[in-house]
């Protein structure tokens, strides 16, 4: 008798091959049969009329703190994620000296908008070195598998102290010690190393984070140290400006060491065609023998603006600031007062920098998120902007925004796509998705708690890109499944998962494709110390299975916690099954 049999499903196996009807049998956490299964299972799931896919492998999350206290790692686990890779963008919590805990918390709070009070309350700091951090994670059960990368900022601060925090140049001795620490982390099971080279990532004090301006010799030395341990991934968030010098050291690192280099790629509002040039440079580097892959997003990097969000169009108006401290129900009651509304609308916003002005007054870039029919529109038309609606109705744009925010009992939301949406269309994203040197990523699960919730990316790929998109070409179900299972897993050497085939790890989603939907955002205060985070739930996941164990049924956790810490690349014959 098999441990679990999933019967009668439409199997989308992760390879990109056409879907087919089949049963799947699982024993000891591994798939043992795909096809007609006549033997009974101790547990069976009837998947008739459902699609059956591998569990999603999300390679860009920031659960480095949350993973120490939350065994469910929501929202990602609600959206069918069965493997999450943390430690991206150069931020994380190990290695750390005992007197630098608060510094790392403040860095994460500044860069990733995770409440510092929640991190301070939730993290128990039972480690100093990166191997000790992994040991701590290994001792805790959870609902999905997690893997970590060694973060540059923590390493730099650990070795260089304030010099590293201030982005001073590293000495030869500094570089040697950083390289040793990274190699030590890889030996303990880290999948790679991450850094940030973007001016967008700043500390709470407004300074660029450690490692942003690191010289090529520092980065190349770390890459060599990684290669001495074994295969690994060098991940970075970068402005890629200027692009040619960045690609030069990336190409040299990959070709000299065999390390895979991966970087984030988003359409720039300053240069809408930058993605074309970057992918051309990527192709040239690949042709020369370098292993370089761009990480792309399935929709814009956009802010969700609401009365409880970190920012909205009225945060700079003194008449609003006078009531901003009130508990939300009391504040909402005041906002319903026509006199208060009139006073706020008459009050000029304080002067802000260019980005602040866009986030509070960029009405030509703001849109209603939830449509009257309940649909969430992340691909709006330019003519649907707040500015256009205001002009058509004869109202002031801020009045239109105010009234939208008051919808749904004060839980209306405005959508502000900042990056990856310069031309008000997803056509460039569609083109990026078909480039052979890209991989789906950038969900940022666990991060940007006060204004973004992109952990819903895996579900959005199916609902929007496969089923619902009307403004341009869609993607096939088979391609979308492979993009966030086999393809993401392979980038990080996780060759034991991402495909439904005999011998592969039994991570599975059973999905009611027709009913699949992302719920509207909501702000909750369920982090330690009452910390705030924006979440989005999903409907349509009939079951999620991790290592052969059912972890969610119809959106509800079963209480099973089969998730493990992944230590290093995984293989052992599974690659053959994945081919």
pLDDT in tens, 251-288: 999 999 999 999 999 999 889 999 999 999 999 999 99
Q: Provide mean pLDDT across the span 195-213.
A: 88
Residue corresponding to tokens 């100093």: 128
Residue 481: predicted pLDDT: 98
The 8-class DSSP code of residue 18 comes to: P
CB 59 within 8 A of CB 191: no
Q: Mean pLDDT across the stretch 487-508?
A: 98
499 three-class SS:
coil
Indicate where the chain has its CATH 3.20.20.140 domain(s).
57-67+87-145+156-302+422-456
| Tens-place pLDDT, residues 356-374 | 999 999 999 999 999 999 9
What value does the mean pLDDT take over residues 84-96? 98
How sure is the predictor about 575, in pLDDT bands with cuts at 50, 70 and 90? very low
- In this prediction, what percent of the chain has a pLDDT beyond 90? 93
pLDDT value at 573 more than 80: no
Q: Is the dihedral of CA 472, 277, 274, 197 positive or negative?
A: positive
Other CB atoms within 10 Å distance of the CB of residue 311 = 17
What's the confidence (pLDDT) of residue 231? 84
The per-residue pLDDT for range 536-567, each reduced to its tens digit, is 999 999 999 999 999 999 999 999 999 999 99
For residue 572, what pLDDT band results from cuts at 50, 70 and 90? low
Residue 579 is predicted with a pLDDT of 42
Q: Between 231 and 401, where is the model more confident? A: 401
Residues 6+ away with beta carbon under 8 Å from 223:
234, 253, 254, 256, 257, 259
Tell me the pLDDT band of 152, cut-offs 50, 70 and 90. Answer: very high
Residue 449 burial (10 A CB sphere; 0-12, 13-18, 19+)? buried
Res 352: pLDDT: 86
Q: Considering the entire predicted model, what is its pTM?
A: 0.96
Q: Does domain 57-67+87-145+156-302+422-456 have CATH number 3.40.140.80?
A: no
- 357's enclosing H/E stretch is helix 354-361
In the block, tokens 């984070």 appear at: 209
List the structure tokens of 450: 């006060």
């Amino acid at each position: 008798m098999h441990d679990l049999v999933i019967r009668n499903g439409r199997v989308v196996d992760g390879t990109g091959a056409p879907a087919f009807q089949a049963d799947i049998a699982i024993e000891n956490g591994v798939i043992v049969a795909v096809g007609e299964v006549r033997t009974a299972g101790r547990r069976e799931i009837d998947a008739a009329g459902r699609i059956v896919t591998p569990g999603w492998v999300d390679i860009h999350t920031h659960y480095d703190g949350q993973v120490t206290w939350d065994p469910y790692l929501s929202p990602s686990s609600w959206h069918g994620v069965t493997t999450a890779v943390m430690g991206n963008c150069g931020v994380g919590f190990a290695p750390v000296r005992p007197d630098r805990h608060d510094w790392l918390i403040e860095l994460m709070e500044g860069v990733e908008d995770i409440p510092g009070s929640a991190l301070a309350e939730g993290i128990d700091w039972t480690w100093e070195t990166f191997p000790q951090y992994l040991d701590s994670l290994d001792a805790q059960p959870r609902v999905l598998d997690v893997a970590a990368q060694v973060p540059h900022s923590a390493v730099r601060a650990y070795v260089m102290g304030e010099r590293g925090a201030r982005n001073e140049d590293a000495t030869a001795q500094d570089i040697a010690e950083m390289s040793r620490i990274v190699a030590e982390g890889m030996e303990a099971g880290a999948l790679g190393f991450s850094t940030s080279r973007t001016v967008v990532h700043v500390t709470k004090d407004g300074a660029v984070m450690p490692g942003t301006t690191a010289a090529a010799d520092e980065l190349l030395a770390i890459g060599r140290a990684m290669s001495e341990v074994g295969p690994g991934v060098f991940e970075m968030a970068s402005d890629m400006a200027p692009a040619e010098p960045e690609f030069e050291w990336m190409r040299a690192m990959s070709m000299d060491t065999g390390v895979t280099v991966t970087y984030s790629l988003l359409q720039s509002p300053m240069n809408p065609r930058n993605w074309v040039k970057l992918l051309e440079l990527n192709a040239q580097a690949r042709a020369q023998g370098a292993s370089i892959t761009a990480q792309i997003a399935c929709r814009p990097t956009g802010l969700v603006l609401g009365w409880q969000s970190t920012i909205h169009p009225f945060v700079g108006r003194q008449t609003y600031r006078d009531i901003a401290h009130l508990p939300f129900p009391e504040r909402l009651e005041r906002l319903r007062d026509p006199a208060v509304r009139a006073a706020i609308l008459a009050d000029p916003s304080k002067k802000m920098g260019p980005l602040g002005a866009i986030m509070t007054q960029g009405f030509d870039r703001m849109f209603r998120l939830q449509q009257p029919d309940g649909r969430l529109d992340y691909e709006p038309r330019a003519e649907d902007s707040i500015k256009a609606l205001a002009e058509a109705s004869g109202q002031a744009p801020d009045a239109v925004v105010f009234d939208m925010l008051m919808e749904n009992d004060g839980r209306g939301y405005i959508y502000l796509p900042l990056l990856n949406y310069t031309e008000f269309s997803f056509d460039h994203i569609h083109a990026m998705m078909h480039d052979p040197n890209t991989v789906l990523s950038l969900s940022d699960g666990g991060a940007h708690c006060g204004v973004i919730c992109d952990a819903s990316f895996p579900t959005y790929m199916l609902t929007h890109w496969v089923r619902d998109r009307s403004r341009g070409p869609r993607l096939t179900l088979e391609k979308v499944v492979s993009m966030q299972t086999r393809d993401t897993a392979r980038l990080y050497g996780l060759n034991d998962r991402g495909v439904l085939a005999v011998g592969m790890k039994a991570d599975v989603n059973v999905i009611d494709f027709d009913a699949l939907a992302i719920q509207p955002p909501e702000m909750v205060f369920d982090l330690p110390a009452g910390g705030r985070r924006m979440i989005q739930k999903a409907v349509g996941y009939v079951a999620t299975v991790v290592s052969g164990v059912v972890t969610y049924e119809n959106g509800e956790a079963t209480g099973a916690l089969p998730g493990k810490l992944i230590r290093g690349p995984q293989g052992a014959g599974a690659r053959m099954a994945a081919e």
